[in-house]
Structure 1
Amino acid sequence: MRPAPAPVDANWIRSLAEERGRTVRFGIRLHTISRDSAKEAWGAADRLLGDLSDADITRAQSLLGASESVGQQRMLALHGGSRDGLEISPNLWAGVGLVRGGAGTALVGSHGDVADRIEEYHALGIENFVLSGHPHLEEAYWFGEGVTPELAARGLLAP
């Protein structure tokens, strides 16, 4: 696992905005892969890349690397175009970004693991979460049936 980058102090950013008469809110865009056990979730993550050849990944990386987007360049730097070391932080997997532009990280683990990470992000000041998965319907089901009750029990969902 690579060392996580130092978090930006949300209160510092808020104070800068306040000095200018503004307010800010923070959000994050992630995919989720949650299952009844962490082993099942990591297996599902591995299967997403299972049919991709190294040539497929190299081709995708070449196309994505041509982007001038700073965000896209940072995404590419997370995994370096390699299948090795895709868990870049606990339960944070950069595998989607090997072949897809834009949001290429996923929270992967048991329903409790994913809820733990969401709770940690929330504690850092993130208020808005844009979550999805592949395939969309199936991952929405897993999240709704497994993670949503965990978040509700922790008081992290609006009534």
Structure 2
Amino acid sequence: MPDDTLPDDTLPDSTLLWYIPNQTHPGHRGEPAVAEHNGLDHLTEHARALEDDGWDGALLGTSWGRPDTFTVATALAARTTTFRPLIAVRPGYWRPAHLAASAATLDHLTGGRVDVNIVSGQDDLAAYGDAEGDPAHRYARTREFLQIVRRLWTQDEVTYEGEHFSVRGSRLGIRPADVAGRRHPRLYFGGASDAAQRVAATEADVQLFWGEPLDDVAERIARLRALALELGREHDPLEFGLRVTTVVRDTTEEAWDAAEAKVAQMAAAAGAQPSAGHRPAAVGQQRLLDLAARGEVLDGNLYTTPGRFGGEGAATTWLVGSPQDVAASLRRYQDLGVTHFVLSDTPYLEEIRRQGRQLLPLLRG
């Protein structure tokens, strides 16, 4: 059972975000099918609920075939006042100068409410005209993408000659908002392979982790900090974030009942058989799936079973418990150096409100 003794400290300096799946089809991860689920009014209801219940904003999911993340983020920013979209984008779909100009414009118009999540994993490349499938080349391209974007946000004129991208005499007409020392949108990044870690250590602002055990996250943070020194990082120190599903109920017992019921539904949908097939290409996803061999529950309330029945990404492992249980777990990640949290559970709107009212006050203080 989780330790019921809570530390007095909260997470006042942390960024607390939710997740808007940005799906074309309804029913994502058990979400009830809702008419116009991706219509502007329904998405605005989510964004305004996030504002009302104390969240900083939300990550907008991306992949080919989903609504365009930047368009959705712009629409939601126009209908809100404090909501911060973390906009997921892919090098190969975007050119760096185009992304730098678009993000700077929206950041300027919203008074500094934009952040960007750079996604380098495989997608339906051919569908949008991208041919770079080799992981090493893809991360080399991401490095150049990040370098050009940051320089355009911070320098008067940029000339850059790379293997994958180049710009000559490039200037932005509008710069990102300079708010309380924040000179430009934060560049979030994920990935667990060696190539991804080297990019994060030198070029990202925030490295996002999936829901891994505390010891594993501590090891990865130490590795990234060592790489930053070894490779000569030129920016502010790298920050760290956690993207994880949080199943929160009034009591520990109710939360575990809810989590086990959700897994039972996943098992029924999978024919009660653990997911099988080829190993995922993504190193980070395979790390999550391998956790099940170490135990069904790790660190007291990190539930690994969802990954056995089709859970992927942030849905592979869940933090489960009462608001006090989950708050204590998040503080333990913060003690390791994690200061950005992207949480979620379904039904999304209901959980925005539940966790906003029950969990966030324990984190905000």
Q: Deviations over 1:57-79 (max 9, x none)?
A: 536x224x432111121111111
> Aligned-pair distance for 1:112?
0.6
SS at match of 2:281: coil
Whether contact under 8 Å (1:4, 1:88) holds in the other structure is no
Pick one of 122, 147, 155 that aligns with 2:334.
122
Whether contact under 8 Å (1:91, 1:109) holds in the other structure is yes
Pick one of 313, 337, 342 that aligns with 1:102.
313
SS at match of 2:245: strand
Distance in 1 (CA, whole Å) between partners of 2:348 and 2:224 is: 33
Whether contact under 8 Å (2:214, 2:333) holds in the other structure is no
Cα separation, partners in 2 of 1:15 and 1:66, compared to 1, 3 Å: closer
Runs of at least 5 residues in structure 1 that lack an aligned partner in the other structure = 154-159
SS at match of 1:30: strand
Of the structure 1 ranges 142-151 and 50-59, higher mean CA displacement relative to structure 2 is found in 50-59
Pick one of 276, 282, 296 that aligns with 1:62.
276
Q: Does 1:39 align with 2:253?
A: yes
Residue aligning to 2:359:
147
Counting aligned pairs with the same residue, the percent is 36
Cα separation, partners in 2 of 1:85 and 1:16, compared to 1, 3 Å: closer
> Aligned-pair distance for 1:95?
3.0
> Aligned-pair distance for 1:96?
2.8
Q: Deviations over 1:91-132 (max 9, x none)?
A: 111233221221211111110111111111111101111111
SS at match of 1:8: helix
SS at match of 1:17: helix
Aligned residues: 146
Q: Does 1:78 align with 2:297?
A: no
Of the structure 1 ranges 137-146 and 102-111, higher mean CA displacement relative to structure 2 is found in 137-146
Distance in 2 (CA, whole Å) between partners of 1:74 and 1:31 is: 16
Q: Does 1:17 align with 2:228?
A: yes
TM-score by length of 2: 0.36
Q: Does 1:93 align with 2:308?
A: no
> Aligned-pair distance for 1:37?
0.7
Pick one of 200, 216, 219 that aligns with 1:8.
219
